[in-house]
Structure 1
Amino acid sequence: MEIVVRPLLKTDWAIVSKIYAEGIATGLATFETVVPDWSVWDEKHIKDCRIVAEINKVVVGYAVLSEVSKREVYRGVAEVSVYVSELYRGKNIGETLLQGLITESEALGYWTLQAGIFSENLTSINLHKKCGFRIVGIREKIGKLKGKWYDNHFLERRSKLI
């Protein structure tokens, strides 16, 4: 099974939005409850550092960066999002995407990547740790979803190149 990583294109939105909806449905991937339209999603994510993973020319996952702040001092700091289709989880696609995103982000001058992950989402926490992220802390009751408070593990990865 060959995983091909390439830039995410607007034409990928139909499948990317489906994968995002699968993540929302888990209740452990995001505090969002609905998939936005392309223009809203596009505005929320950095234009560079958007990649997809394909198997047999079918998009099976994606990874993107979001700004953590508009302030100039934080220009090299971004938040990571990685989503894999439920049919392809557990096949190293998340690791391939996250490593690809790290490489691409460093080439563009990002020195710190951050991730806020539901504390119950041990698979994602372990994936990030495997890719060089460290737990900085736990943000208790950081958000409420469907009437329940959730804690988030806050992780970061500092580039060794920048």
Structure 2
Amino acid sequence: MTTAPAQVAIRPMRPGDADQVLAIYQMGLDTGDASFEVTAPSWHAFDASRLPQHRYVAVGTPAAVGGGTTLGWIAATAVSDRCCYAGVVEHSVYIAPQARGRGVGRALLTAFIASTEAAGIWTIQTGIFPENTASLRLHHAAGFQTVGTRTRLARHHDRWRDVILLERRSTIAGTT
């Protein structure tokens, strides 16, 4: 298991992180290759839709330039409220532009995977646009497998978009 890069701390997301989390979310949406969404939700909507026990932020440590600044976040939603899917979540991870390529995403995924496994989650899934090659590399390096491509899943910015479906199956949770 990897640790956070130097001068970065991973901790649970707090309500006080709302402004920076939503700003990073919007920066990701503005790339056009992060989500079908085009506008970050309100904190109320974000908070209501994400599982509270599996939300993390990466923050610059006090010694870092911009220490205390949120560098990225990760959070999960339930795939279904049906009890048979209790161990399946879908996650999102967003990294601030200035923190990309520095191991922040890997550190967030590592903390998230540990959290979900401890809670008995047996499958983590995500959908990524094929053009988001950095996110695909990150997820594959963290043990996610490509399940398939959902071709022309929906329209986004006036064009049809494919989505690559990835999942990570726990080797410890849900095996009995």
Query: Aligning the two structures, in what range does the TM-score lie when normalised by the shorter sequence?
Result: over 0.9
Matched, 1:39 2:50: no
Alignment partner, residue 140 of structure 1: 151
State how many pairs are aligned: 162
TM-superposed CA distance for 1:44, in Å, is 1.4
**Larger of the two Rg values belongs to structure:** 2
The ranges of structure 1 where at least 4 consecutive aligned residues each deviate by more than 2 angstroms after the TM superposition are none
1:131 to 142, 154, 157: 142
Structure 2 spans left out of the alignment, 5+ residues? 1-5, 62-67
Q: CA deviation at 1:54?
A: 0.9
Asked if 1:16 corresponds to 2:21, the answer is yes
What aligned pairs does 1:3-152 form with structure 2 within 5 A after superposition? Answer: 3-56=8-61, 57-152=68-163
Deviations 1:18-66 (A, max 9, x none): 0001000010111111111111111111111000001122211000011
What's the counterpart of residue 165 of structure 2?
154
Q: Over aligned residue pairs, what C-alpha RMSD do you find?
A: 0.8
How many Å separate the matches in 1 of 2:169 and 2:40?
Answer: 30
Shift of 1:2: 2.1
In 2, Cα distance between equivalents of 1:70 and 1:141: 27
Find the residue that maps to 2:53 and give its secondary structure: coil
In 2, Cα distance between the equivalents of 1:157 and 1:136? 10
d(CA) in 1 for partners of 2:36, 2:121:
25
Please give the secondary structure, in 2, of the residue aligned with 1:48: helix
Normalised TM-score (structure 2): 0.90
